[in-house]
Amino acid sequence: MEWLTEDKVKEGSKTLKGALEMSITHHRQVLDATPTELKRAHNADRVDLYVGYCGLCQYCKLHQQQCPLNPECSLSFLICCEEWGTANDKFDVWLFAEKGKRKGKRIIAYQDFRQAETKLYKKLLGLRKKI
> What are the structural domain ranges in the chain?
6-130
Angle between helices 55-63 and 16-32 (to 10 degrees): 150
DSSP H stretches of helix in 33-102: 35-43, 55-63, 82-98
CA dihedral 31, 33, 34, 39 (to 10 degrees): -100
pLDDT 10s digits, 14-41: 999 999 999 999 999 999 999 999 999 9
pTM score, whole prediction: 0.90
| pLDDT the model gives residue 6 | 92
pLDDT value of residue 86: 92
- Residue 77, pLDDT > 60, answer no
Percent of residues, the chain, with pLDDT higher than 70:
95
* pLDDT for the residue 78: 59
The Cα 100–Cα 109 span in angstroms is: 11
